[in-house]
Amino acid sequence: MAPVDFTGVFPIVITPFDADENPDLESFDRIVRFMRKLGVDGITILGVLGESNRLLDAEREALIRTAIAAAGDLPVVVGTSHAGTRATCDLSRLAEQLGAAGVMVTPAREPVPNPDKIFEYFQRVAEAIAIPIVAQDHPASTQVHMALPLLIKLVREIPQITCIKQEAVPTPPKTRALRAGLKKNRVTILTGLGALYGQYDLESGANGFMTGFAFPEVLQALVKARDAGQQERVHNIYQRFLPLIVFEQQPGVAIRKEIFRLRGLAHSNQVRHPGSAIDPETAAQLQAVLTATLPDIDITQPISI
């Protein structure tokens, strides 16, 4: 497989479960194939949306195998973060052996913050594998704050870090600061948070999105319009879908799992305990938002923006 160019749209996908909370590999296969049909630039599995912290290592392996088999030539980035460095290195090696195009890694919270230990963590992962690393900066899920000097040091001194997944709010200022600090460095910046600040992230120099928004077609249209210099179109697309983006961004994964079910991609919206499933009132609100945003549109098919 050719080296991955971390630009464009890399959707983070859910881990579907059956009613007994077992991974639903049939639905997972279908999700990956659908993303490939959309023509996204790659997919990311076993992220926060993928409930990776609730999975056994054997389940992670089965999901990696399923994704890579279904993806064909579509690059698969695997979230390999564990609380310990050794475990992260081992899972990263496994992902590489199974055919992953890259790994997404974020540090775990320690009682006493230590930037040097974070640097060593990424350095050891890089020494363990030969594929690219996406350094995820997502304090909301990790409670780890990676300051700008640390991120710049990581990129400058660890060549395998070829992308920063920038999710430290406010994202546009930090993206601009990274761009200024890295200057002409080869690293790319992909933003997440469900594209909550999508228009402004792109205006600030992001190369695209690596996030779990359940309509990657929208993100593709935003990037395409930005790259074509069509700022008014970027604004119009963002404004049209902002209510859905905001609704989806509520804490937890239940709403996005329900959308994947409504799109015909997952048999169930089951969330693994102790995560909460979507309640009837929220499901009704979601349906109203979908109807208002995409009236008379079959969302089980790729949508045209």
The helix/strand count (H/E) of the chain reads as: 12, 8
Rounded mean pLDDT of 18-29?
A: 98
| Residue 183 pLDDT | 80
Reference 198, options 228, 162, 173, 172; nearest CA is 172
Q: To the nearest whole number, what is the mean pLDDT of the chain?
A: 96
Residue numbers annotated as active site? 165
Alpha-carbon distance of 190 to 201, in angstroms, equals 9
Order across the sheet with 133-137: list the strands.
8-9, 208-209, 188-191, 161-166, 133-137, 102-105, 76-79, 43-45
The string of pLDDT tens digits covering residues 156-193 is 999 999 999 999 999 999 999 999 998 877 899 999 99
**pTM of this structure:** 0.96
Contact 110, 142 (CB under 8 A): no
| Residue 1 pLDDT | 59
Q: Domain 8-238 class?
A: alpha beta
Domain ranges across the chain: 8-238
**Residue 170 identity:** P
**141 pLDDT above the threshold of 80:** yes
Contact 245, 222 (CB under 8 A): no
Rounded mean pLDDT of 205-224?
A: 98
Q: Respond yes or no on whether the N-terminal peptide bond of residue 149 is cis (omega within 30° of 0).
A: no
**111 pLDDT above the threshold of 90:** no
Instruction: Give the confidence band of 16 by pLDDT, cuts at 50, 70, 90.
Output: very high
Q: What are phi and psi of 260, to 5 degrees?
A: -60, -35
Contact 256, 248 (CB under 8 A): yes
| Residue 185 pLDDT | 73
Which residue do the tokens 């406010």 mark?
170
Element (H, E) at 121: helix 115-128
**70 pLDDT above the threshold of 70:** yes
Calculate Rg over the CA atoms of the chain. 18
Q: Respond yes or no on whether the N-terminal peptide bond of residue 132 is cis (omega within 30° of 0).
A: no
Give bridge partners of residue 77 from the DSSP assignment: 44, 102
Q: Decide: helix, strand or coil at residue 66.
A: helix
Q: And the tokens for 133?
A: 């690393």
Instruction: Give the confidence band of 83 by pLDDT, cuts at 50, 70, 90.
Output: confident
Give the residue with greater pLDDT, 183 vs 288. Answer: 288
